[in-house]
Amino acid sequence: MAITLMTTACNQPQQTTGIDLANLDTTAVPQNDFYQYACGGWMANNPLTPEYSRFGSFDKLGLQNLEQVNGLIQEIAERVKSQESRVKRGSVEQKIGELYNMAMDTARRDQEGVAAVQQTLSEIAAISSREQLSEVLGKAMEFGLWAMYVDADALNSTMNILNEYQGGFALGEKEYYLDEDEHTRHIRAEYENHIARMFELFGLSDGADKAKTVLRLETRLAKAAYSNVELRDPQRNYNKMSIDELQTLVPQLDWKTYFAAFGITLDSLSVGQVPHLQEVGRMLADEPLEDLKTLFTWQVLDGAASYLTTDIFMENFHFYGQVLSGREEPSPLWKRAVGIVNGTLGEAVGQMYVKKYFPEENKARMLALVKNLQTALGQRIENLAWMSRETKDKALEKLQAMTIKIGYPDTWRDYSKLEINPEDTYYANLQRAAKFEQDYSLNYLGKPVDKKKWYMTPQTVNAYYNPSSNEICFPAGILQYPFFDMSADDAFNYGAIGVVIGHEMTHGFDDQGCQFDKDGNMQNWWTAEDKAAFDQRTKVMEEAFNRIEVAPGVHANGAFTLGENIADHGGLQVSYLAFCNNEAAKPESERLQTRDGFTPAQRFFLAYANVWAGNIRPEEILVRTKGDPHSLGRWRVNGALPQIGAWYEAWNVTPESPMYVAPEDRVSIW
């Protein structure tokens, strides 16, 4: 039936190839640099503006969605402003409109200055003993040395558990504190200057000395933290223990006092990164109390910077936007305002978005695509020569048990308990929204996992796989050109959204996902021999990306990006097979032909490459190489396609091509 649906859809008279010839750079040789050939025109036609450090196909579609959402929100915001408005106080419309209007009102924020954070800063200043820290850290949302969140128990995926996760260093990646290359040393020096200027802008004394203290303490925390590669190991990052065991592990805090202040009662939790939390305990015991208070103060300043005065906002942008990422200007105010509303009332906005912009027929065609991709992945699993029957059966069980979510949730979130009060400051409303979100998460603690819950809003241009629920999710926002086009032929849609679908499916079988069973439990379902063969094959992928030089003297991190690279590889292999299956099922007269000078197979790979078209600043390349588990767009094409046999056939790539990889050296996993 799925094949019939696809065939019917593809025989509509308005069908196009979906390939925009203006995206191509026909001066480039596709066999030598496929990314430049497929995307060079797009890159020339979409130069970076001062606002962006990177702008690609995802961002372009995201901008379109943002403009659509802005139109929906602005209409509400104008009604809320109107003296004759009948928008009910406490309604979702009132909350959307008031929050947007406050986000746009920079004049009010400039007038209010930093008053909104004074109470929190006074509370920090009032800390007089270490004995207070257990309660203070439990109550604090504005600052902290670790994070707590509720999620499915990795060993019992039907129940939620509290998880602890490392934190306390604002630069996020530990390498920024430890690496000694010239660029990283420059970032550290600029960061220290930024901290000093922020203390001064908030009217606090001794900014330069306090900046040195902050950098020293954050460096101490970063040294104890796991690297991004270590964070990818689910076994290593799951350490379930009782509260008594936690007390023994980190005795410097009174954990019962902490959790009481946090507002929860529990018997156990999972500590994510044990060495980091132990170092936090030691730091709380042996660092001068005034230095700890300086760090807490910095965390408040850093967290509030985007929501206060213009001069504070611009200083914050100077470091994080210009120095770190190379951006020249901040995003326009309306974009930032929409981002705040999206982040605070995302599903409420999403409900409006899908009503206006998401046709139901898109969902039907996506479901057919997904079913065809599932069939193709099942075929590839069956045909794996390196995997035993025993492991194949488990893999097929997991594939068939995978839940599919498309478009939007069946049940929308309730925002009735969120208060947006225009009488309060913008910052105070956002703090209340953060507390609302925290309470929403904590409400799941100790309860069964809600399998219907979505982890992205419908308007998001992205997709995800969740290993604990073994589900793939494709929000409405991504189901548009250049990912999905109802009027385009199968070569385009399988090459674009088809590969995205296959990518998310493959995440269930990448080096992390493969450690979870069909029910989402972290449980081995492999024979020892098969897992060893899998690891050997993924090592080929890791080493291939390690060889890629993303900037002079800087190489990609094959271990950090391994999961996403495996998913890209699997997505390509699986979607291409599904496309071939779909074509073979059609009568010969209805099969796709060469159009616009390209065969169907060539159009498949062009559509895939165009998904990753984009421009990026040199500074952002370095940021993403340190902190993004995805390979850069260029290498999701030029690094991935040389591992795919069908690409060689489609484009007649020979051993003379600089992109050629000998068959025996290519990656072969799923």
Query: Does 36 reside within a domain?
Result: yes
Long-range (24+ apart) CB contacts under 8 A made by 666-669 are: 666/540, 666/642, 667/537, 667/540, 667/541, 667/544, 667/569, 667/643, 668/537, 668/540, 669/534, 669/537, 669/538, 669/541, 669/566, 669/569, 669/570
374 and 292 inside one domain: no
Domain limit, last residue, from 307, 325, 341:
307
221 and 143 inside one domain: yes
388 and 519 inside one domain: yes
Q: Which residues pair with 403 in a beta bridge?
A: 471
643: CATH: 3.40.390.10
155 and 297 inside one domain: yes
The domain tally of the chain equals 2
40 and 131 inside one domain: no
> Residue 121: which of 308, 303, 297 has the closest Cα?
297
> Which residue type occupies 567?
A
295 and 375 inside one domain: no
Query: Does 600 reside within a domain?
Result: yes
Question: Has residue 10 got a pLDDT over 70?
Answer: no
Query: Does 123 reside within a domain?
Result: yes
143: CATH: 1.10.1380.10
pLDDT (mean) for 237-257: 98
Query: Does 449 reside within a domain?
Result: no
Could you tell me the pTM of the whole model? 0.94
Other residues' Cβ atoms within 10 Å of the Cβ of residue 281 = 15
pLDDT in tens, 447-481: 999 999 999 999 999 999 999 999 999 999 999 99
Which pLDDT value is given to residue 289? 98
C-alpha triplet 609, 614, 618: angle, nearest 5°: 130
Domain holding 378, by residue range, is 2-10+23-45+359-398+480-665
User: Got the DSSP string for 383-409?
Assistant: T-TTS-HHHHHHHHHHHHH-EEEEES-
Which pLDDT value is given to residue 15? 82
159 and 30 inside one domain: no
Query: Does 109 reside within a domain?
Result: no
633 and 484 inside one domain: yes
Range with lowest mean pLDDT among 86-95, 367-376, 393-402: 86-95
Question: Has residue 401 got a pLDDT over 60?
Answer: yes
Q: Which residues pair with 166 in a beta bridge?
A: 146
- Look-up of token digits 């194949």: 392
pLDDT in tens, 637-655: 999 999 999 999 999 999 9
CA–CA separation, 4 vs 582, rounded Å? 9
Which pLDDT value is given to residue 8? 37
Question: Has residue 167 got a pLDDT over 90?
Answer: yes
Query: Does 467 reside within a domain?
Result: no
Query: Does 295 reside within a domain?
Result: yes
Question: Has residue 257 got a pLDDT over 80?
Answer: yes
CA–CA separation, 404 vs 556, rounded Å? 32
237 and 378 inside one domain: no
261 and 394 inside one domain: no
Query: Does 238 reside within a domain?
Result: yes
Other residues' Cβ atoms within 10 Å of the Cβ of residue 97 = 26
266 and 394 inside one domain: no
CA 645 to the chain's CA centroid: 30
Which two tokens mark 507? 């995440």
* Strands 403-407 and 471-475, bridge-based pairing: parallel
303 and 376 inside one domain: no
User: Got the DSSP string for 183-240?
Assistant: HHHHHHHHHHHHHHHHHHHTT-S-HHHHHHHHHHHHHHHHHHSPPTTGGG-TTTT--E
Which pLDDT value is given to residue 91? 95
Question: Has residue 83 got a pLDDT over 80?
Answer: no
